[in-house]
Chains A and B, each alone.
Chain A
Amino acid sequence: MGATAHDDDDPYAALTTTVIARPGGLGSAPVASDDRAHYLVAVEGAERGRRIEIGERNLVIGRVKPADIVLNDEIVSRNHCRASLVMGELFVTDLGSSNGTYVAARRITGPTLVAPGERVAIGSHIFEHEWRSRREVEDDAAQDSDLEKAKQYVRSLLPERIRQGAVQTDWVLQPCAKLGGDLFGYHFIDPRTFAIYLLDVTGHGTDAAMHAVSVANVLRQRTLPGVDKRDPARMAAHLNEIFQMETHGGMLLSLWYGVYDMDAGTLAYTSAGHHASYLVGPGRVDALPLETSNVLIGMMPTYDYRSGFTQVPRGSSLYVFSDGVFEVKSADGEELGIKRFVPLLTAPAHSQMTESRRILEAVKDCTGCQSFEDDFTLVVATFG
């Protein structure tokens, strides 16, 4: 490089402006609203989603009537605790319950202030204190109802589990509260060729789910003119031609698509912006990553997708999953991560649980999470 004066010599010499924005800071504090009310909303437990408005009248929460709020929960006492408003603030008081009432993870002994956002544990239920306008709550309820319908629709598209034959399947899809954009499927292209796929649309909500359904509808078609469904790279390229983000609401998606040839005992696959799926042999010793380095579907119009290829020993299991399975934060804030997730795949099978259920429970055990921020989607195919 020459000796001429250049900005590179001191990248900040010509520094002109710096702005720091801290979203969620004071600037974006919620605006006070006249019709705000106090709510306890169940975020964990059998009655997750239940919303209790705390008004001027004290409410007793317990296991049976005459408690005002009855929770069907064995470890809740008959008269467990009382919620009341004092000078416009929410207080909770334990009524001598056997298992205690906890506010912000501390067992309470007297009337205890619950700040907005703090959590109250009553038996196996956890409630969050929300202080919000009634109108907002009503709008959310309408949206939740739409999300619930979208969830049911996505669920209706999922394939039946295959319990016998040369290819057997088992899966779990636990949609997150906001509904992620996960969808998967599998089918026989012909009696000896089995296709399996999982896609994950970026973002959450009904728009992501609708996009996932559109893409899956292409994958579900038995035949596609001009496309050999046995060729994973060609399949990815076909979807990429159709679903460019500029013409599809800015949506991108990752895809894992595999084709098992029963006669040859081989699996051809492609991962398009998606992490690896894993093949675990009958001895359950290693988990072999199956990944090809390709970009997300919808990002680059003329991308040349590549396939990978592997032999499949009889009795092997294939694990295909979304990132919601391993991008799970535990209570201490640490991420599970794929490196800690993969060893769970080779752990011994459970006699009482399906394989997908076993892994779901193992992730819950590892992280202490009972519900997830993203869809938890895992499909297991076993090749006999």
Chain B
Amino acid sequence: MSISFNDSGEVRTIMITGRLDVDGTNSVATQLVELSQAPKKGVVVDLSTLKFLASIGIRALVTCAKDVKARGAKMVLVVDPGSTVMMSIKATGIDQLVPVFDSSSDAQRAAVA
């Protein structure tokens, strides 16, 4: 489980790897919220190498997206389209709240569009 970030202009990209199950989410949720509060116009949460997304992880992502929106910024996700993570995203309908992209560059553009 790891969480890391980098900043590029007005976009902050947060990368999460490993498994967002109960233990994984508990260990990164606070950092996710803190990292997403940087004064940037766009936040990309890159889940392209995430192995597993449980419902508690979905809750952490939704909470984060709402916080980002509340401060007038925009959050988008990067997800591997063929992954089980994408299946969880579709089943729970997060993609109707947070735009989802296959590639990091598309996500970065959309985050500040």
Q: Which A residues contact B (CB, under 8 angstroms)? A: 7-8, 11-24, 28, 178, 200, 202-204, 245-246, 250-252, 254, 272-275, 291, 293-296, 299-300, 303, 323, 327, 335, 337-338, 373-374
In Å, the complex CA distance between A246 and B70 comes to: 12
Mask: chain B, 79-92; 1 = CB below 8 Å from A; 0 = not: 00000100100111
Chain A residue at minimal CB-CB distance from B53? A327
27 A-B interface contacts by CB (under 8 A): A7-B8, A7-B10, A7-B11, A8-B108, A8-B109, A12-B8, A13-B8, A18-B4, A22-B2, A23-B28, A24-B1, A202-B58, A202-B59, A203-B56, A203-B59, A252-B58, A254-B55, A273-B93, A291-B91, A294-B93, A295-B92, A295-B96, A300-B96, A327-B52, A327-B54, A337-B84, A374-B54
Alpha-carbon gap, A203 to B63, bound state (A): 13
Q: Give chain A residues whose Cβ lies under 8 Å from the Cβ of B84.
A: 335, 337
Docked Cα-Cα span, A147 to B101, in Å, equals 40
Q: A254-B55, A273-B93, A327-B54 are in contact. Are A12 and B10 (CB under 8 A)?
A: no
CB-based nearest B residue for A271: B91
Are the C-beta atoms of A20 and B56 separated by less than 8 Å? no
Closest chain A CB from B46 CB (angstroms): 11
- Specify the chain A residue showing the minimal Cβ separation from B54: A327
**Complexed CA–CA distance, A202 and B21 (Å):** 11
Q: CA separation between A11 and B21, bound complex, in Å?
A: 30
Residues of B within 8 A of A7 (CB): 8-11, 108
**Apart from A14-B7, A202-B58, what 13 extra A-B contacts exist at CB < 8 Å?**
A15-B8, A18-B4, A23-B1, A202-B55, A203-B55, A245-B62, A250-B59, A252-B62, A295-B93, A295-B94, A296-B58, A299-B94, A374-B54
Please name all residues of chain B whose beta carbon is closer than 8 Å to the beta carbon of A200 when the two chains form the complex. 55
> Which A residues are in CB contact (< 8 Å) with B55?
200, 202-203, 252, 254, 323
Is B62 within 8 A of A14, CB to CB? no
Residues of B within 8 A of A (CB): 1-11, 13, 21-22, 27-28, 31, 52, 54-56, 58-59, 62-63, 66, 84, 87, 90-94, 96-97, 104-105, 108-109
Distance, CA A299 to CA B92, complexed state (A): 10
Contact between chains at A178 and B4 (CB < 8 Å): no
Contacts of A24 in B (CB 8 A): 1, 27
Question: What's the least CB distance linking B94 to chain A, in Å?
Answer: 8
Interface SS of B by simple majority: helix
Q: How many Å lie between the Cα of A300 and that of B94 in the bound state?
A: 10
**Among B92, B97, B108: residue with most chain A CB under 10 A:** B92
- Beta-carbon nearest neighbor of B44 in chain A: A11
* Cβ contacts under 8 Å, A275 to chain B: 91
The answer to whether A296 and B92 touch (CB under 8 A), given A11-B104, A252-B58, is yes
Q: Would A20 and B93 be within 8 Å (CB), given that A8-B105, A335-B84 are in contact? A: no
Whole-angstrom distance from the CB of B101 to the nearest CB of chain A?
Answer: 13
> Which chain B residues border A338 with CB–CB below 8 Å?
87
Query: If A202-B56, A252-B62 touch, does A11 touch B105 (CB 8 Å cutoff)?
Result: yes
Q: Taking A8-B108, A8-B109, A335-B84 as contacts, is the C-beta distance between A274 and B4 under 8 angstroms?
A: no
Q: How far is the CA of A202 from the CA of B8 in the complex (A)?
A: 33
**CB-based contact A18/B56 at 8 Å:** no
8 Å CB contact of A299 from B10, B21, B93: B93
Within 8 Å by CB of B93, from A8, A251, A296, lies: A296
The answer for the CA separation of A335 and B31 in the assembled complex, in Å, is: 27
Contacts of A323 in B (CB 8 A): 54-55
Closest to A28 in B: B27
Which 6 interchain pairs have the tightest Cβ spacing?
A295-B93, A23-B27, A7-B9, A202-B59, A202-B55, A273-B92
- A15→B11 CA distance, assembly (Å): 10
**Cβ contacts under 8 Å, B109 to chain A:** 8
Residues from chain A with Cβ under 8 Å of B90 in the complex: 293
| Minimum CB distance partner of A181 in chain B | B55
Task: Let me know if A273 and B4 touch, CB within 8 A.
Answer: no
| Contact B22–A373 (Cβ < 8 Å) | yes
CB distance from B18 to the nearest CB of A (A): 9
Flag if A273 contacts B62 (CB, 8 Å): no
Q: Which residues of B contact A18 (CB under 8 A)?
A: 4-6
Query: In the complex, what distance in Å separates the CA atom of A20 from the CA atom of B3?
Result: 6
> A299–B105 Cα gap in the complex (Å)?
27
A309 to chain B minimum Cβ distance, whole angstroms, is 20
Whether the Cβ atoms of B5 and A15 lie closer than 8 Å is: no
Question: B22 to A204, Cβ gap below 8 A?
Answer: yes
Which residues on A sit within 8 Å (CB–CB) of B3?
Answer: 20-21, 23
Min CB gap B77→A, angstroms = 15
B60 — nearest CB in chain A belongs to which residue?
Answer: A202
